[in-house]
Amino acid sequence: MSIEIDHLGIAVRDLEQALRFYEQVLGMEVNHCETVEAEQVRVAMLPTAGNTAGNRIELLEATHPDSPIGRFIAKRGPGLHHIALLVDDLEETSLRLRNNGVQLLNEPRAGAGGHRYVFVHPSSTGGVLLELVQK
């Protein structure tokens, strides 16, 4: 089994303001932006080291205060929200996790960029919200 870091999800209050820092100060470039209505979030992906897939920073802005990102920011403030890992077989990995008593927050589904994903509850990972993404 091969697992790689896909992206770091960072919750932000204002996507445009956050992008000014990442683009103008750090010199990164956005390669994908979209609104994911089902998750009530605006997303901007910024690849690192010229990569177009994997090794990215994902900026997340809530479109509604009661969305997962809106609640996260209200409770904890902006900052690191999750770590996303690429897995070879999302269905098999999800089944293996469930069979080992791991709490998943959703069934595998399509998210930003059409990628299939599932979130793993922090109580099962030692306090870190993990997103597993199908390669």
> What is the pLDDT at residue 2?
81
Q: What is the pLDDT of residue 81?
A: 97
Total number of domains constituting the chain: 1
Residue 47 Rama label (left phi>0; alpha psi -120 to 50; beta): beta
Residues 64-73: tens digit of each pLDDT: 999 999 999 9
Model confidence pTM above 0.75 = yes
> What was the pLDDT predicted at 49?
77
Residue pLDDT, tens place only, 100-131? 999 999 999 998 888 899 999 999 999 999 99
**Angle ∠(61,67,70) on CA atoms, nearest 5:** 50
End-to-end CA distance of the chain: 12
CATH number, domain with residue 85: 3.10.180.10
Q: Which domain holds residue 65?
A: 3-134
